[in-house]
A = this chain, B = another copy of it.
Amino acid sequence: MSFTAPVRDLLFNIEHLSGWPGISSLPQHDGLDLSDISAVLEEFGRFCAEEIAPLNAPGDHAASRIENGKVILPEGFAKAYAQFVEMGWQGLQHPEAHGGQGLPRVVGAAATEILNAANMSFALCPLLTDGAIEALLTAGSEAQKSIYLAPLVSGRWTGTMNLTEPQAGSDLALVRSRAEPADDGSYRITGTKIFITYGEHDMAENTVHLVLARTPGALEGVKGISLFVVPKYMVQADGTLGPRNAVRCVSVEHKLGVKASPTAVLEYEGATGFLIGDENRGLDYMFVMMNAARYAVGLQGIAIAERAYQQALAYARDRVQSRPVDGSSRGAVTIINHPDVRRLLLRMRALTEAGRAMAAATAGWQELAHQGDAPEAAALAEFMVPLVKGFCTEMGVEVASMGVQVHGGMGFIEETGAAQHYRDARILPIYEGTTAIQANDLLGRKTLRDGGATARRLAAMIAETEAELAKASPFAQAVGTRLAAARGAFEATVDRLCSIGRSDPNAAFGGSVPYLMLAGNLIAGWQLARSLLVAEAALDRGEDTAFMAAKIATARFYADHILPETETQRLRITEGAESLLAGVL
């Protein structure tokens, strides 16, 4: 099944939703214009479609495996990764000072989506490297930056995140791995880490493990966890690689999906590690990495949805079955003519585009926040991370499932490929923090902590868009009415949760996932409503009419069919806590 990168839609979002004028006027992006970005994304899209996407189904079939302690990736992965490195794609959004291209995050996000849509298993490797770069930039010493960043940014070395242990998944307070100080200032790391994505492979010269562990006498709980960098091969003073470190892969998981991506169990047996930043602040640093990774996993949700949509659309245009219900043909027609197949495909498309639009707006806030001295952008960016992660991954699972459904019986046959997306998607609402963990973050840290201020700021921004919609076409007005209703549900929910958050935490947190899904639905729909305004204006000018007409149609579908779900979520939160807590299991 071929894949085409959705570059047109990604560019529309960068131009119109991400706050591009503000981003392109930042000093470090001086002189960058949209045509440059278009050229970059077109080229990357072509590379991914031609070199990476064809490895997706064979990679799933072959799967990564371990033989005599050596992890074997599917055929073609190492070669494709070498091309990826050669072309410099790993450095797209990373600082020029470390060899990157220094492009804005909105561009990096677009590229991440494309790569993941082409091949999620492959994309996981660069994705984890991005996270390691982010953590080292934040908390690494100058010496550490100079040792590790250039090879990571180039892609010659890859990165991993080592948080989870058998007894410590969502709950990092339970981390037990130990770090004993050695005389030379380094540490000896001992413990078992599980679920380590690309924890062992030989596509790259070296792997840089970032590892959470406890120093002797550290406090229990999350306040006693430190972060260490543990290279697979020791790095010598001249930058060349020395002996292998005492960390080894003892097994590779047999998973439901993303089978080509090796998920390793790593044994640290007195491995040499180096403290990053201050002792006991590991979780703070890891959160920097995790925020980047969580946002990226949200992009994976959009990516798998896009891939599933493209595949289902192609099948629906090709498969001939049954006469149309309106009697317009006496013979069987392609199934895209059947109303329920339309409904499925439009829902897939609307959820995908809305998620993408929300992610683009978020990347814009992240870019501004990253420059510092932009407290509003920073608060919005922080608020959005659990939403992009939670909403877009839940949506990705749903869209992949609908993709199977469009295929009918063929969808259940593995060779068709739709089933792989359904399997691959299922990890997304789980790793880098389950949807419930995201929802707790959204409710606890991002909503209750500021008394709902950021949430209400977003509601006010949405109301501004409603005012613009009210002045536009009848279609825009209808979308505005739906948006206002959904915003009302959101505000009622925020009020309710803020009023009970401290006094009745079980009731409040029992509504946390409905709150996340409500907020995600609303904010994604808001971005589509903004898109509709842009598209109506463009249509008036006769620009890119097919694309703009489709964008308007998608925004309308979303407003009528998806935004109203917010009211059910509100009911669950404002009126459903009693029956939730009284439930018998």
Contact = CB atoms under 8 A, between A and B. Distances in A.
B580 A343 contact: yes
Interface string A346-361: 1001000000000000
Interface in A526-585: 549-550, 553-554, 556-557, 559-561, 564-565, 567-568, 571-572, 575-576, 578-585
Contacts of A313: 585
Nearest to A555: B579
A150 interface: no
B585 A557 contact: no
A505 interface: yes
Interface string A239-279: 00000000000000111110000000000000000000000
Interface stretch (A18-26, A49-57, A410-418): A410-418
Contacts of A440: 325, 340
A401 to B, nearest CB: 7
B409 A326 contact: no
A504 to B, nearest CB: 8
A475 to B, nearest CB: 9
Contacts of A583: 342, 346, 349, 553-554, 556-557
The size class of the interface chain A forms with chain B is 35 or more
A126 interface: no
Interface string A464-493: 000000000000000000000000000000
A453 interface: no
Closest 7 pairs between A and B when the two form their complex, measured CB to CB: A339-B510, A340-B436, A550-B584, A256-B419, A171-B322, A346-B583, A560-B576
21 contacts: A170-B321, A171-B321, A173-B332, A255-B412, A255-B413, A256-B414, A326-B506, A339-B506, A339-B581, A340-B510, A404-B426, A405-B429, A411-B426, A412-B431, A419-B426, A553-B582, A553-B583, A554-B583, A560-B576, A560-B578, A561-B579
Interface of A: 164, 167, 169-171, 173-174, 194-195, 253-257, 313, 316, 320-323, 325-327, 332, 336, 338-343, 345-346, 349, 397, 401, 404-405, 408-409, 411-415, 419, 422-423, 426-427, 429-431, 434-436, 439-440, 505-510, 512-513, 549-550, 553-554, 556-557, 559-561, 564-565, 567-568, 571-572, 575-576, 578-585
